[in-house]
Amino acid sequence: MNRRAQHTDWDHVWIGADLATMRAGAEPYGVMRDAALAVKGERIAWIGTAIEARGRVGQRSIPVHDATGLWITPGLIDCHTHLVYGGNRAAEFEQRLLGVSYEQIARAGGGIQSTVEATRTAGHDALLAAALLRARRLSAEGVTTLEIKSGYGLDLNTEARMLTVARELGTRLPITVRTSFLGLHAVPRELAADRQAFVDRVSGPWLEAIASARLADAVDAFCDSIAFKLQETEQYLRAAQALRLPIHLHAGQFSDIGAARLAAQFGALSADHLEYVDEAAIQALAQAGTVAVLLPGAYYTLRQTHPPPVSLLRQAGVPMAVSTDNNPGTSPCGSILLMLNMACTLFGLTAEEALAGVTSVAAQALGLASDRGTLEVGKRADLALWRIGQPAELSYSFGSNPCAGIVQAGTVHRWSELEPQGGREQVGPIGEEVP
Ligand code: NIG
Ligand code: FE
- What does the alpha-carbon distance between residue 23 and residue 34 come to, in Å, rounded to a whole number? 17
The answer to whether the CB of 118 falls within 8 A of the CB of 87 is yes
Ligand 1 pocket mutation, candidates 80, 95, 222, 301, criterion most atoms within 8 A of CB: 222
Average pLDDT, the chain: 93
Flag whether pLDDT at 405 surpasses 80. yes
Least distant ligand from the CA of 149: 2
- Burial of 401 from C-beta contacts in 10 A (0-12 / 13-18 / 19+): middle
Flag whether pLDDT at 23 surpasses 90. yes
Distance 180 CA to ligand 2 centre (A): 11
What are the residues whose beta carbons fall under 8 Å from the beta carbon of 427, sequence distance 6 or more? Answer: none
Q: What confidence tens digit (pLDDT) does each residue in 89-138 have?
A: 999 999 999 999 998 998 888 999 999 999 999 999 999 999 999 999 99
- What does the alpha-carbon distance between residue 277 and residue 315 come to, in Å, rounded to a whole number? 14
Q: What confidence tens digit (pLDDT) does each residue in 409-433 have?
A: 999 997 655 544 444 433 334 455 5
**Shortest-distance Cα residue to atom 9 of ligand 1:** 329
Give the DSSP H/E element, type plus range, for residue 345. helix 336-345
Ligand 1 binding pocket, CB closer than 6 Å: 82, 111-112, 115, 222, 250, 253, 298, 325, 327-330
What confidence score (pLDDT) does residue 149 get? Answer: 98
Strand partners, 36: 15, 48
Ligand 1 pocket mutation, candidates 79, 81, 82, criterion most atoms within 8 A of CB: 82
In 3D space, the residue among 261, 251, 198, 184 whose CA is nearest the CA of residue 224 turns out to be 251
Distance 199 CA to ligand 1 centre (A): 18
In the chain, the amino acid numbered 288 is A
Confidence of residue 257 (pLDDT cuts 50, 70, 90): very high
In 3D space, the residue among 212, 128, 141, 125 whose CA is nearest the CA of residue 174 turns out to be 141
In the chain, the amino acid numbered 184 is L
What confidence score (pLDDT) does residue 416 get? Answer: 57
**Shortest-distance Cα residue to atom 12 of ligand 1:** 330
What confidence score (pLDDT) does residue 421 get? Answer: 45
Least distant ligand from the CA of 85: 1
Percent pLDDT > 70 in the chain is 93
Q: What confidence tens digit (pLDDT) does each residue in 344-403 have?
A: 999 999 999 999 999 999 999 999 999 999 999 999 999 999 999 999 999 999 999 999
- What does the alpha-carbon distance between residue 195 and residue 161 come to, in Å, rounded to a whole number? 23
**Shortest-distance Cα residue to atom 3 of ligand 1:** 222
What confidence score (pLDDT) does residue 26 get? Answer: 80
Atom of ligand 1 nearest to the CA of 298: 12
Q: The pTM is what?
A: 0.94
What confidence score (pLDDT) does residue 106 get? Answer: 87
The answer to whether the CB of 172 falls within 8 A of the CB of 190 is no
Distance 435 CA to ligand 2 centre (A): 47
- Burial of 171 from C-beta contacts in 10 A (0-12 / 13-18 / 19+): exposed
- What does the alpha-carbon distance between residue 48 and residue 239 come to, in Å, rounded to a whole number? 47
